[in-house]
């Protein structure tokens, strides 16, 4: 039968309105992709995503799991290059690079969303559920909030309390005492410190970051944002330059162009005696790592500690749960008591290195990818509000521990931490309390290209094949090259009073 024109139009309109009123599931569902790493909260995340989809059938939440930190970076980079619209919506900013992605227009500033009520937390303003310090510390230039901190972590030295007791040792109170402990432990036929130092998992780099922080704090008055600077904040007005106050600079903002100018003009240089002292101390410590540490990965370093071949192990709070589980699974005669201590400070610094601080802060620093679609951003944020409500945050930690998976540390969402099992909470409470490294002061932080070029020299340095002076001369050249590149990429006019848009 041939339809007449009026009838054809009628049927076409009917079909059109039917599709509008009853769309197919594929066209109706707003898809949100949460990209994460294997082992971290995976089971609980999938279950919470399912619970959210039951509340919101019009949404599809995909938990995309990558095998490791480098894989998630490769996946994100490839997806963003192919088609931003189908790239992940939520990613680990700390694994991908928060500042550079924000400056490139890839991450969404969520300042406005933080002021909205969270419908899954009795309408509380979302910002009030977070620790304000953690929000601000990770704000780009102290202004743009693009990190949602889920949990708290810090790094520390795990130590075998049974070995320490047998050798008559207690946690060291200074860097100098720590080196003495290491030498004595090795004289008893044990490894002093097990550590991962491969390119994929360079834990040893944490020590150099702490020592650089202790040196760079000297230059805060030179690079702090001042009145009239584009990223001036009121907290800067109350800053008092006190190297012994580990928290003095936590809430202030550093002006990135003042920092860049300081290096380019030679006012700060890695060849200065202050950095030579810091890196000389670092090189001395590397002599107490396990033999072959440059080829030891995370699993290898952990096994040396778990089997009591090493008295100490450098790692973070995210291994508390797994260590407790693994020790419980061992035969009773192979178990041991353990605790942690923070990295000790250098007490006899000739040039006034500040006290060492932790590498603490938000563990899961989740960022929302800017899809240039406000309606979709609203949906992504709604899911994050669900995930970042106290009840869901507590479920995330409890369920993860039940599954024997990694937790990063204590939950940051207010009202969730109190629901942790007592033994886990007690262990986690031993981390922190040392302040946090001001990583905005480190010019090549997060620049993987520069780190790759520096890696061979770092290896030679850690093996004692080159001196701290030679290593730092090489590093200084690479830092200056990096800063010149960043000036081009970010369009800096090197005027600290003007904010320069990314080209």
Q: Are 340 and 430 in contact (CB under 8 A)?
A: yes
Query: Among 69, 60, 123, which residue's Cα sits nearest to residue 96?
Result: 69
Q: What angle do CA 154, 318, 46 make, to 5 degrees?
A: 130
**Comparing C-alpha atoms, which of 378, 183, 364 is closest to residue 284?**
183
Q: Which residue has the tokens 């702090």?
A: 224
Please tell me what DSSP assigns to residue 28. Answer: H
Q: With pLDDT > 70 as the criterion, what percentage of the chain qualifies?
A: 94
CB 142 within 8 A of CB 233: yes
How large is the average pLDDT for residues 489-503? 82
DSSP string computed for 392-418: HHHHHHHHHHHHT-B--SEE-STTTGG
Question: In the chain, how many H helices and how many E strands?
Answer: 21, 12
Residue 200's pLDDT band, with cuts at 50, 70 and 90, is confident
Mean pLDDT across the chain = 89
Which is more confidently placed, 467 or 430? Answer: 467
Where along the chain do its domains lie? 28-152+362-428, 155-360+435-490
Tokens representing 148 are 């949602």
Nearest residue to 376 via CA among 23, 19, 20, 29: 29
Distance CA 302, CA 158 (A): 10
Span 28-152+362-428 CATH architecture: 3-Layer(aba) Sandwich (3.40)
pLDDT digits (tens, 9 = 90+) for 147-189: 998 888 889 999 999 999 999 999 999 999 999 999 999 999 9
- What is the rounded CA–CA span in Å between residue 47 and residue 26? 22
pTM score, two decimals? Answer: 0.74
Which one, of 191, 193, 255, lies nearest residue 228 by Cα?
Answer: 255
Domain topology for 155-360+435-490: D-Maltodextrin-Binding Protein; domain 2 (3.40.190)
Residue 415 banded pLDDT, cuts 50, 70, 90: confident
pLDDT of residue 426: 76
Mean local confidence (pLDDT), 4-30? 45
DSSP 502: P
Beta bridge partner(s), residue 158 = 313, 340
* Cross-strand pairs, 156: 315
CA distance 458 to 122: 51
Q: Hey, do 28-152+362-428 and 155-360+435-490 end up sharing a CATH topology, with the first three levels equal?
A: yes
For position 132, what pLDDT does the model report?
82
What confidence tens digit (pLDDT) does each residue in 262-279 have? 999 999 999 999 999 999
The pLDDT, as a whole number, for residue 502 is 56
Cα–Cα nearest to 433, from 247, 253, 161, 244: 247
């Amino acid at each position: 039968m041939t339809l007449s024109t009026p009838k054809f139009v009628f049927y076409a309109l009917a079909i059109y309105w039917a599709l509008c009123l009853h769309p197919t599931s594929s066209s109706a569902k707003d898809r949100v992709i949460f990209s994460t790493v294997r082992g971290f909260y995976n089971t609980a995340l999938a279950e919470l995503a399912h619970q959210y989809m039951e509340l919101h059938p019009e949404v599809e939440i995909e938990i995309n799991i990558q095998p490791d930190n480098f894989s998630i970076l490769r996946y994100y980079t490839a997806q963003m290059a192919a088609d931003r619209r189908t790239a992940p919506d939520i990613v680990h900013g700390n694994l991908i690079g928060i500042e550079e992605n924000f400056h490139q227009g890839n991450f969404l500033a969520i300042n406005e969303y933080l002021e909205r009520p969270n419908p899954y937390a009795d309408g509380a303003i979302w910002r009030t559920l977070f620790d304000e310090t953690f929000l601000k510390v990770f704000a780009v230039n102290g202004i743009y909030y693009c990190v949602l901190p889920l949990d708290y972590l810090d790094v520390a030295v795990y130590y075998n309390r049974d070995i320490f007791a047998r050798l008559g040792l207690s946690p060291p109170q200074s860097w100098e005492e720590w080196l003495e402990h290491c030498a004595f432990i090795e004289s008893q036929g044990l490894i002093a410190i097990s550590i991962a130092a491969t390119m994929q998992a360079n834990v040893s780099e944490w020590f150099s970051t702490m020592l650089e922080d202790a040196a760079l704090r000297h230059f805060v008055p030179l690079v702090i944002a001042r009145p009239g600077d584009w990223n001036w904040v009121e907290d800067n007005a109350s800053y008092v330059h006190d190297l012994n106050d580990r928290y003095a600079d936590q809430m202030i903002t550093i002006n990135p162009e003042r920092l860049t100018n300081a290096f380019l003009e030679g006012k700060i240089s890695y060849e200065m005696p202050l950095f030579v002292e810091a890196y000389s101390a670092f090189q001395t410590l590397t002599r107490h790592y396990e033999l072959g540490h440059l080829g030891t990965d995370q699993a290898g370093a952990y096994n040396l500690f778990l089997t009591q071949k090493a008295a100490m192990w450098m790692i973070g709070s995210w291994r508390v749960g797994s260590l407790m589980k693994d020790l419980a699974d061992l035969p009773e005669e192979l178990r041991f008591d353990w605790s942690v201590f923070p990295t000790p400070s250098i007490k006899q610094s000739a040039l006034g290195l500040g006290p060492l601080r932790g590498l603490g802060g938000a563990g899961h620093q989740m960022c929302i990818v800017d899809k240039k679609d406000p309606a979709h951003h609203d949906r992504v944020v709604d899911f994050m509000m669900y995930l970042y409500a106290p009840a869901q945050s507590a479920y995330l930690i409890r369920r993860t521990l039940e599954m024997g998976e990694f937790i990063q540390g204590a939950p940051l969402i207010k009202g969730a931490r109190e629901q942790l099992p007592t033994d886990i909470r007690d262990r986690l409470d031993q981390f922190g309390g040392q302040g946090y490294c001001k990583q905005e002061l480190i010019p090549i932080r997060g620049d993987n290209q520069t780190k790759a070029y520096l890696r061979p020299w770092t290896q030679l340095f850690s093996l004692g094949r080159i001196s701290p002076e030679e290593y730092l001369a090489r590093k200084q050249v690479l830092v200056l090259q990096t800063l010149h590149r960043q000036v081009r990429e970010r369009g800096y006019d090197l005027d600290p009073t003007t904010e320069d848009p990314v080209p």
